Amino acid sequence: MNQALQAVLENSGNIVFFGGAGVSTESGIPDFRSADGLYHQKYRYEPETIISHHFFMQNPGAFYDFYRDRMICPSARPNAAHRALARLEAGGRLKAVITQNIDGLHQMAGSRNVLELHGSIHRNHCMDCHRAYSLQDILKEQGVPRCSCGGVIKPDVVLYEEPLDADVLERAVFYIEQADVLIVGGTSLVVYPAAGLLRYYRGNKLVLINQSPTPADHQASLLIREPIGKAFEGMDEPE
């Protein structure tokens, strides 16, 4: 457990968390930009290309090969960071979890007010008739999943070239503006517009937990350079 982190959190009644792929690496889901992350693995196309809107439309088969293989991890379970955040929310001190992740692990840990900037693998819809499908529906099919109407099913995940949901963004800005303590964790802070959310924070208790340097390190009042699950260890269980 990180003592400095615990001290900051104990003294705040309005904590907001803003995280990225690094929050889930200790749950076994690779991030994009670490040395062993997705961007450094060999595929015929760059991951950035594969998970773009135009690639999905032109080549849904290759998209789903990568997506099933690399982006869906049905056996992943929440780690200490997810659990500690859920506990802080249940205790009334954490107001929102804002995430760039699409894995649903915050909700699995018990978090309720989760703002998913990039959508979720757990929601899917038919591109023709808009019928909704679960992750299980996608998993039980092979190749490109199809609706009963014949249409292609698309995950409700924000692909490159696609805009973020305006309502989710607006709510994220609202919580960050109100925050006393803002914890930013497991994000390289290079993917926009999500990374730009930081500028809405008006407080003076910015906690940054990331294994590698980020463009916002100099703004942090507490900089923690250790695995985020480790930093939250012990805060995820009843005393």
157 lines the binding site for Zn ion (CB under 5 A): no
| 113 contact choice in ligand NAD, Zn ion, none (CB below 5 to 8 Å, kind-dependent) | none
How many CB atoms sit inside 10 A of residue 136's CB?
9
To the nearest whole angstrom, how small is the minimum distance from the Cβ of residue 102 to ligand NAD?
4
| 212 contact choice in ligand NAD, Zn ion, none (CB below 5 to 8 Å, kind-dependent) | ligand NAD
| Range 116-135, binding Zn ion (CB under 5 A) | 126, 128-129, 131
Q: Which residues bind ligand NAD (CB under 6 A)?
A: 20-22, 24-26, 29, 31-34, 37-38, 100-103, 118, 186-188, 191, 209-212, 227-229
Cβ-count burial of 62 within 10 angstroms (0-12 exposed, 13-18 middle, 19+ buried)?
middle
Nearer to ligand NAD, 147 or 197 (CB): 197
To the nearest whole angstrom, how small is the minimum distance from the Cβ of residue 205 to ligand NAD?
19
1 lines the binding site for Zn ion (CB under 5 A): no
Nearer to ligand NAD, 94 or 195 (CB): 195
- Cα separation, 48 vs 215, whole angstroms: 21
Nearer to Zn ion, 128 or 141 (CB): 128
Q: Which residues contact 22 (CB under 8 A, 6 or more apart)?
A: 31, 34, 185, 186, 187, 188, 210, 211, 228
- Cα separation, 190 vs 196, whole angstroms: 9
3-state secondary structure of 15: strand
- The pair of structure tokens assigned to 232 is 């939250």
Task: Annotate 156-193 with b (16+ C-beta within 10 A) or e (fewer).
Answer: bbbbeeeebbeebbeebbebbeebbbbbbbbbbbebee
Contact assessment for residue 100 and residue 20, using Cβ atoms and an 8 Å cutoff: yes
To the nearest whole angstrom, how small is the minimum distance from the Cβ of residue 134 to ligand NAD?
17
Which of 7, 149, 212, 234 touches Zn ion by CB under 5 A? 149
- The pair of structure tokens assigned to 22 is 């690094």
Nearer to ligand NAD, 147 or 201 (CB): 201
Which of 37, 110, 151, 203 touches Zn ion by CB under 5 A? 151
To the nearest whole angstrom, how small is the minimum distance from the Cβ of residue 125 to Zn ion?
8
User: Sheet harboring 15-19: ordered strands across?
Assistant: 114-116, 94-99, 15-19, 181-185, 205-209, 222-224
| Total residues at interface with Zn ion (CB under 5 A) | 7
Q: Active-site residues: which are they? A: 118
3-state secondary structure of 199: helix
235 lines the binding site for Zn ion (CB under 5 A): no
| 100 contact choice in ligand NAD, Zn ion, none (CB below 5 to 8 Å, kind-dependent) | ligand NAD
Residues of the shown chain interacting with Zn ion in the complex, contacts defined by CB under 5 A: 126, 128-129, 131, 147, 149, 151
